[in-house]
Structures are given as structure tokens and as C-alpha cells.
Amino acid sequence: MSTKEEHVRKPDWLKIKLNTNENYTGLKKMMREKNLHTVCEEAKCPNIHECWAVRRTATFMILGDICTRACRFCAVKTGLPTELDLAEPERVADSVFTMNLKHAVITAVARDDLKDGGSAVFAETVRAIRRKNPFTTIEVLPSDMGGVYENLKTLMDAKPDILNHNIETVRRLSDRVRARAKYNRSMELLLRAKEMYPEIPTKSSLMIGLGETKEEIMETMDDLRAHKVDIMTIGQYLQPTKKHLKVQKYYSPEEFAELKEIALLKGFSHCEAGPMVRSSYHADEQVNSAARQMQQQGEKVLEAN
């Protein structure tokens, strides 16, 4: 790797606006008091100040804060997880109620140490939120759970409003970027989820800037559509620490706008694309867009009959 590749200069459009108003500090205090984790903090998300301080949204990370995988793009701690916290689903549901969320995103560390991959706790978290917050829409973002589809069924039977599983990168780079996860297995999981509950929208995210080509990005879009994925997000990879993979390219806002247009032309019901976009970025808008799209499709079917 050349010196130029090792030191790609960060462009001006990636500057983050800090906002630590009462919403931000209040959410941070509540998370600590309830012993909850968020991917916003653990993964060093660049949008934390916008989401916490302005939109008052957060992505809860359940099953602890220690991941059994060591993906080369991710800042979440890696190691041997602690025992399961079976009271966690109720605490998450209480927090969703306190925050008065219209849309809640629930993700988790990978738990390859568990036979069910943590799917039972995931499903119970969805049910707990439903009991206490019946008007809140729920998005789940699980790992591939080892490719065990009984585990996926356990989660899908709780009927989240959106099933999100991230492909993360293009096929060629997948083994280098993602620890233990497999490109084909992730695609298969997304398809299985859609086959189990066709009415539940599926979603996936791609981070770019790791050395992929434009053709590979479009091939990944095609693969996702072939596996019936409805929603896509595309964001700029940012190196969280010096130990992680280096950025090979910073895409411009204009390039992201072009990729969004291509994704919509390929048939995605919704696409968020931009330098700071992450998987749960403006997730509340995505679930509404997907619902409208499915309603319109249903109306067209009725008209045709």
C-alpha cells in the first residue's frame, strides 16, 4: 500500500457538528442509569449528536457490549461476553416509553457463544416494547446468528416492523472486512426473512470507501434486490481507530446522490445515501416510506384484479 493510500485526507463535508443540549445529556444519563448500551456510542457513530440532541432517537444494543467477532471496520469491543441479562428487554421497553419513541431500532453484538445466537432475548425485547409501546414501530438489526434459520424464525415470529441485516461491503472484500460473516450467508438470511413474513420489509446497509469499484457497488445492489431486499442505506466508511482498516476513498455528496438514484431505479422502495449515513440513520422515515410503498403495491394488485 502506498503512502498516498495510507493517508487519504478527510474532506470538509465530513465535519461533524457537536450538540450536547439537554436531549443529548438526558439520554446519556438515562442509558447509564438503566445499564443500557447503544450502538451510537459503542460503534462511535458520527451521527450521535444529531440523533440524540435533535431527533431524540437512539439505537439500542442488547446482549451486552462485548462482541464475539472482530470485524476490521467496527469499534465495538471484542472478547468473551458475560452472562445474558434476562431483565434487559424490560429496561429497553421502559426506555422507549420514557423517550416516547415513534420508532425504535434494536441491534446487538454477535453472540456466537450462544446456541440461539441471542434470538430469544432479541424476540423478547420486541415483545416487551410492543406491550408497553403499542404505537412504536420496531426495527431489528441482528447478526447472521451463525446462519441457523431456526434462530432467525424465533426473531421473525416476534414480528418486527423491519428486519435489517447489513451486507456491509461488496463480495470481493467481504472476507477481509467481516469476521466470520459470509456474503452469501447474509444474502440468504435476508431472503429467508422475506420468505417467512413477506409483509415485513427487509433492509441492508453498504459502507463504501474500502477499495470497492462502482461496478461492485451496483452488483451488490443487484444481489440485494435478487434477495428481495426493500430498503438500502449507503454510507462512507470512517476508520474508527488506527487498528482498523484504512479509508481508501472518500466519496463526494454528488457521488452518493448518484448511487441513491441508481438504487431507486433498481427497485428499492427507499434508499438513504450520503457521507454520514449509517444503517439506522433516519430509520423512522424509512419505515414510513416502506409502508407507503407496500400499500401502493397492494392497491395496484387490487386494481389489476
pLDDT at site 73: 64
Residue with cell 463526494: 252
Please tell me the pTM assigned to this model. 0.81
pLDDT at 183 over 80: yes
CATH number of the domain that 149 lies in?
Answer: 3.20.20.70
Query: 88 burial class (0-12, 13-18, 19+ CB within 10 angstroms)?
Result: buried
Residue 272 lies in a domain: yes
Mean pLDDT, residues 217-234 taken together: 97
The tally of domains found in the chain comes to 1
List of residues 6+ apart from 138 with CB closer than 8 A:
103, 104, 106, 126, 129, 130, 160, 161, 162
Mean pLDDT over each residue of the chain, to the nearest integer? 82
Residue 2 lies in a domain: no
* pLDDT digit string, tens, across residues 122-154: 999 999 999 999 999 899 999 998 899 999 999
List of residues 6+ apart from 113 with CB closer than 8 A:
68, 80, 81
Mean pLDDT, residues 164-188 taken together: 93
Residue 51 lies in a domain: yes
* pLDDT digit string, tens, across residues 252-284: 999 999 999 999 999 999 999 998 887 665 555
- The grid coordinates of residue 52 equal 440524540
pLDDT at site 44: 52
Domain membership of residue 143 as a residue range: 17-300
